[in-house]
Chains A and B, each alone.
Chain A
Amino acid sequence: MGSFYSDHRTWLHAVAAPLKLLLLAVVGTALYVFNSPVVLLACASLCLLLFASLGRATLPARKLLIMVVAAGLLITAFHAYLQQPLVGVISALRLLSASLLGIALMLTTRANDLLDVLESLLSPLNRFGIHSNALALQVALMLRFTEHFFIQWKRLDDAHRVRTGKAGGFKLLAPLTIRMLTSAQRVADALELRLPP
Chain B
Amino acid sequence: MRLNCGFHPEFPDRLKPFNMTSSRSSGLAYVSLFAALVAVFGLIPKIDLPLGVPITLQTLGVMLAGCMLGPKKALQALLLFLLAVAVGLPLLSGGRGGLGVFVAPSSGYLIGFPIGALATGLLMAYLPVNSPRRAAVSAFVASAVGGVLAIHVCGVIGLVTLAKLSWTQAFWGTLVFVPGDLIKCVLCAIVVHSVARGLPDWRFGGRSFQ
Contact = CB atoms under 8 A, between A and B. Distances in A.
A188 B124 CA distance: 23
B164 interface: no
B104 interface: yes
A131 to B, nearest CB: 11
A32 B25 contact: no
A191 interface: yes
A28 B98 contact: yes
Secondary structure type dominating chain B contacts: helix
A180 B2 CA distance: 21
A195 B83 contact: no
Query: Is chain A's binding surface mostly helix, strand, loop or mixed?
Result: helix
B95 A99 contact: yes
A75 B83 CA distance: 27
B53 interface: no
A137 interface: yes
Given A28-B97, A29-B99, A135-B83, A181 B199 contact: yes
Contact of A25 (B2, B46, B87): B87
Most-contacted residue by chain A among B35, B36, B187, B202 (CB, 10 A): B36
A188 B202 contact: no
Interface of B: 1-2, 18-19, 21-22, 24-26, 28-33, 35-37, 39-40, 43, 45-48, 50, 68, 80-81, 83-84, 87-90, 94-101, 104, 187, 190-191, 194-195, 198-199, 202
B194 A192 contact: no
Measured as residues with beta carbon below 8 angstroms from the partner, the interface class of chain A is 35 or more
Interface of A: 21, 24-26, 28-33, 71, 74-75, 78-79, 84, 87-88, 91, 94-95, 98-99, 102, 118, 121, 134-135, 137-139, 141-146, 148-150, 173-174, 177-178, 180-185, 187-189, 191-193, 195
A98 B193 CA distance: 37
